[in-house]
Amino acid sequence: MIALGKEVIEELIMNLKDAGCDEELITKCIKKYNNDDLKMLIKSLQCHRCCLLDKLHEEQKKIDCLDYLIYMLKKQMKED
């Protein structure tokens, strides 16, 4: 590990927490980093990113439904 390893690990942990990673994933990522398994670390992060993106799309669908409902209700108000 490089001389600044401790700071790198702390920064990695902070970034993982900010990205919504749970403790289990953080522990796995730190182990992969410490073992110089950066390829698998990147794969794990990409997987977590995909999960977050799926959740984002689900929430976007809900917002779209609300937008449509609001649009229809406003349209109905104008017709009355």
Cβ neighbours around 25 below 10 Å, total: 16
Q: How confident is the model at residue 80 (pLDDT cuts 50, 70, 90)?
A: confident
pLDDT tens readout for residues 10-60: 999 999 999 999 999 999 999 999 999 999 999 999 999 999 999 999 999
For residue 77 the two structure tokens come to 């108000």
Packing angle between helix 23-34 and helix 5-18, nearest 10 degrees?
A: 150
Burial of 28 from C-beta contacts in 10 A (0-12 / 13-18 / 19+): middle
Cβ neighbours around 12 below 10 Å, total: 15
